[in-house]
Amino acid sequence: MDGRAPSMRMALTVNGGPVEAVIEPRELLLDFLRDRLGLTGAKRSCDVQVCGACTVLLDGQAVSACCTLAYEARGREVTTIEGLAADGHLHPLQEAFIEHAAVQCGFCTPGMILTAATLLHDVPAPTAEQAKDYLKGTLCRCTGYWKIIEAVVDAGRRTRETRE
């Protein structure tokens, strides 16, 4: 033994496709996605589950990949920002973030959009107050948030109109 931890095998679904991997028990989901699968959309910033830059969806729920063990994703479905656009169409949130200039440096954007996606899942057409309340666990240092809130509200409105 060279001091390495023993490896473990797991199967999971990532962005709709099956993945099998050999991982270390201590391996974080964020490192697994970024280093093994090359899915670098999820970002590392605070490392303590405060900023939301590493947010991915685990069975549709937003989790901080920096504080989630890769093994916790076994047998489950992971969605990263790379997998949000479906059938070649951007998600309404992605459209709205572009249109409202809710993107600046882009480092928080993947986590912000995925978190907002779970909001739209629960509350299809949120008000600005609901969006503000829901997104308070996801940091952005560039925008001052206002254009993000506008984009989320607009995406919700558009989604509802499409559904109706």
Partner 1 sequence: MSALRPAGGTAPVRPGVVGTSMRRVDALEKVTGAARFTGDMVVPGMLHGRVLRSPLPHARIARLEVTAAERMPGVRAVLTGADLLGAGFAGTDPYYGHAIKDRPIVAIDRVRFAGEPVAAVAADDPAAADEALLAIRVEYEELPAVTTVQAAMAAGAPPLHEGPLRPGLFHGLGELRREEGNVCYHYRFTRGDLDRVFTEADVVVEGEYTFPAVYQYAMEPHTVIAQWGADGLTVWACCQHPYLVRAELADVFRLPLPAVRIIVPYIGGGFGSKSYTKMEPITAALARKAGRPVLIANRIDEAMVTTRRHNMTATMRTAATRDGRVVARQCRIWLDTGAYADNGPRVAATAGDAAPGPYRWRAVNVDAWAVYTNTPPAGSYRAFGATHMQWIGEAQIDALARKVGLDPLEFRQRNLLRPGEEVRPGGQPLDADLVGDVTKVAAAIGWGGPKPPLVGRGVSVGLLAAGAHPVSTAAIRLQADGTAVLLVGTSELGQGARTVFTQIVAEELALPPDRIRVMGADTQFTPYDRSTGASRSTTLAGGAVQHAAVNLREQLLDIAASVWGLPRASLAVRDGAVWHETERLSYPDLLKRHFGMIGGELIGRGEVRPQHGTGSYAEGPVFWEVCVGGAEVELDPQTGQIRVRRLASVADVGKAINPQLVEAQEEGACLQGLGNALFEEMLFEDGHLINGSLLEYRVPTTADLPDEFRSILVENADGPGPYGAKGVGEGALAAVPAAIVNALADLGIDMRQLPLTPERVWRRARELGLAREVVS
Q: Does position 132 bind partner 1 by CB under 8 A?
A: yes
Task: Count Cβ atoms below 10 Å from residue 55 Cβ, excluding itself.
Answer: 29
Q: What does the alpha-carbon distance between residue 160 and residue 49 come to, in Å, rounded to a whole number?
A: 31
CA separation (Å) from 122 to 44, 64, 158?
26, 19, 15
Quick check: 107 binds partner 1 (CB under 8 A)? Answer: yes
User: Rounded CA gap, 67 and 33, in Å?
Assistant: 13
Interface pick for partner 1 out of 84, 116, 120, 155 (rule CB under 8 A): 84
Collapsing DSSP to helix, strand or coil, 105 comes out as coil
CB of 3 to partner 1, least distance (A): 6
Number of residues that bind partner 1 (CB under 8 A): 56
**For residues 5 and 11, which CB has a smaller minimum distance to partner 1 in the complex?**
5
Residues making contact with partner 1 (CB under 8 A) = 2-4, 26, 34, 39-48, 50-51, 53, 80-82, 84-85, 90, 93-94, 97-99, 101, 103-110, 113, 131-133, 135-137, 139-149
